[in-house]
Structure 1
């Protein structure tokens, strides 16, 4: 029997849903690069239901308990008295989501001598000390591509909401006003602007494809250059550095993983290379940006707006300055947790567990670390190291 700890975000304030806005969810037949959607032997939930919260349990309880395993589901993840820390001592598998990450630091991994696998239900495993996982020969897996397109849609929404000044305009309506001048004094057309993505992997490339019909000038930088055919198709301008891209772009969107080399890549110095009045969109990881440098750039006008879906730590403390800085469009980390995406990442988590317990190979697209080294998609996207430092600040968050 294996003990599995599943760390998920809390249920809605009004309680777990008894009904939903829609009766079903539309799903693609395959991902744009041809990768198939998750293919477990079965699922024990209705697609389109809330699976990512505590009561949803990622739809795993029936499967795990019927096979003799123990499942512990909790939202309590921060601090020495958390359920996660109390249960770690004999856990074999830890599962969490990027939206409510169980920060698996070297210290926590050391307290879990039976730990064999850490699974991200979603994409992005920077909340795990990959170096410590390598040392302990712990497998790290994530459900690659499960919510990439969901995040890309969120990026486009945030770009438009910032450039068109949507949030302040909506708030005038809520307050009973008809303040057209106040609404449009910061509103522009996206058309003809230069938009650049830092990284053009699954999410970044999808963003570029979604933006092409807006007749914008598209730019990108990535350590893996795109094929010439794709650059021609989208009329892309390739940049060999982030600095080269930010000098010419009106909108910059971050779509790269977090690892030691990308931590705080956007800081006081690099922000000086941005065009004055540029917009910065970050649905990748909060720690790509220096927290206070973003606030200062918004206050000075160097940035016209910042829209982010990611914070560090997660959840952020109640006094986190990004909650109150000017001209922001922050959301909780929701971009990849639509009910549509939850169906895919819960199904993919089930597939990973089936492979693990049945001794079958986990597909390369899902592997981050295996056999004491970066593996599969992890070898392509990450570098060895630790990006979890400072995560203990999450303990300061009060509901």
Structure 2
């Protein structure tokens, strides 16, 4: 595709429109109403002319990557607007040093990601994927009455990371009469805990020891990288199921493979891994007690539309000198 949109509109840099990181065709029109879209490819071909026209970067599926060289080539840049809630792909200090604002779209992703967290928990507990394979296999002649999973109702769920996604998971888990424990950097207000019947665990170890299901719903930071390693997995019950809807690097994957192979924990359900996708010969792909989805936490038509509307709103606010909705404030 050539240069997009009206040349008189503010220039916005996007990764492109093709391939796995391309902006969904349904959303291009929404962007074009307000902006002149310039692709990474076009910028690289004509930096001198296009660089000064770009006032915002719209990041979709972590692309384009923001580095010093790119920031130096965009003298008029005011804002980097990134889809989703995670910020681990952005060097916030570097962006701030150029006097550029950052916004993301946390509200758009929290409900669909919490829904998927519950879907993965239920699928792993009741062995839905294995059951489907058994039900459709040409070799199946009978169903065993002793082919069983784990009960979800009344069990204990430990939520690690009680931000907007974790809290929505708790709201959903409450309908399953689950006992809810949570561990978070900051304790939630008492009335928020009471509204979902959640109990705060000051120590992660305590949550791991008591939970039947452990769900990771926290951001990836240097402090949370490989938060769940060999020691933490050994603290969990042998019947426990680990669910990850955060980032792949929250878990030491080698330790997880070993724990799943040797019965240290019962199963894992992962929407995220490191890298994504995993190499096709990765041991996690061969284990029956693993349920994997392709990082689809926010992948609903409704959420993606809202994400795009939020990105447009943040960019327009920034260009017009107004308060930016969902601005990420630098610590």
Query: Same-fold call, TM > 0.5?
Result: yes
Asked whether the 8 Å contact 2:14–2:64 carries over to 1, the reply is no
Summarize the Cα distance change of 1:62–1:235 in structure 2 as closer, same or farther, 3 Å threshold.
Answer: closer
86 and 52 in structure 1: CA distance in 2 versus 1, 3 angstrom threshold: closer
- How far apart are residue 154 of structure 1 and its match? 0.5
Indicate the residue corresponding to 2:217 in structure 1. 255
- Distance change (3 Å), C-alpha of 1:112 and 1:264: farther
| Aligned residues between the structures | 316
Map of 2:65 onto structure 1: 104
SS of corresponding position for 2:89: coil
Choose between structure 1 and 2: higher helix proportion. 2
Question: 1:329-340 to 2 correspondence within 5 Å?
Answer: 329-340=291-302
Q: Which runs of 5+ in 2 are unaligned?
A: 1-8
Tell me what 2:328 maps to: 368
Partners of 1:309 and 1:330 within 8 A in 2 = yes
Say if 2:27 and 2:308, in contact at 8 Å, map to a contact too. Answer: no
CA distance in 2, matches of 1:309, 1:201: 18
RMSD across aligned C-alpha pairs, in angstroms? Answer: 2.9
Whole-Å Cα distance in 2 between the matches of residues 250 and 88 of structure 1? 56
| 1:294-318 deviation per Cα after TM superposition (whole angstroms, max 9, x unaligned) | 2121111112111111233445544
Q: 1:84 to 1:207 in 2, by over 3 A?
A: farther
- Separation of aligned partners in 2, 1:270 and 1:250: 14
| Contact 1:5–1:87 (CA under 8 A) maintained in structure 2 | no
Distance 1:113 1:269, change over 3 A: farther
Does residue 71 (structure 1) correspond to residue 38 (structure 2)? The answer is yes
Determine the structure 1 residue equivalent to 2:25: 55
Q: Which has the higher contact order (CA 8 A, sep 6+)?
A: 1
TM-score, structure 2 as length reference: 0.84
> What is the alpha-carbon distance in structure 1 between the residues aligned to residue 303 and residue 17 of structure 2?
15
**Residue of structure 2 in register with 1:393 after alignment:** none
Q: In structure 2, what is the equivalent of residue 121 of structure 1?
A: 83
Q: SS of 1:297's equivalent?
A: helix
Report whether the alignment pairs 1:205 with 2:172. Answer: no
Contact kept, 8 Å, 2:267 with 2:289, in 1: the verdict is yes
Partner of 2:108 in structure 1? 146
Structure 1 residues 149 and 9, CA, compared in 2 at 3 Å: closer, same or farther? farther
Show CA shifts across 1:1-40 (max 9, x none).
654232378579xxxxxxxxxxxxxxxxxxxxxxxxxxxx
TM normalised by structure 1 equals 0.71
Q: Which residue of 2 aligns with 1:164?
A: 126
- The 1:198–1:343 alpha-carbon spacing in structure 2 relative to 1, beyond 3 Å, is same
In the TM superposition, what is the alpha-carbon distance from 1:221 to its structure 2 partner? 1.1
Show CA shifts across 1:244-272 (max 9, x none): 10011010001111111111111122222
Distance verdict in 2 for CA 1:106–1:253, change over 3 Å: same
Classify 1:94/1:85 alpha carbon distance in 2 versus 1 (closer, same or farther; 3 Å). same
Secondary structure of 2:107's aligned partner: coil
1:7 counterpart residue number: 15
- CA distance in structure 1 between the partners assigned to 2:282 and 2:43 by the alignment: 25
Secondary structure class of the residue paired with 1:347: helix
Higher mean C-alpha displacement, 260-269 vs 233-242: 233-242
Q: Given the superposition, is the C-alpha separation of residues 350 and 223 from structure 1 closer, same or farther in structure 2, using an over 3 Å criterion? A: same
- Which residue in 1 is equivalent to 2:235? 273
1:180 aligns with 143
Residues 173, 326 of structure 1: CA spacing in aligned structure 2 closer, same or farther, 3 A cutoff? closer
Q: Would the aligned equivalents of 2:78 and 2:318 in 1 still touch at CA under 8 Å?
A: no
Distance 1:348 1:296 in 2: 41
Deviations 1:311-369 (A, max 9, x none): 33445544554433441111111121201111211111111121122222202xx1114
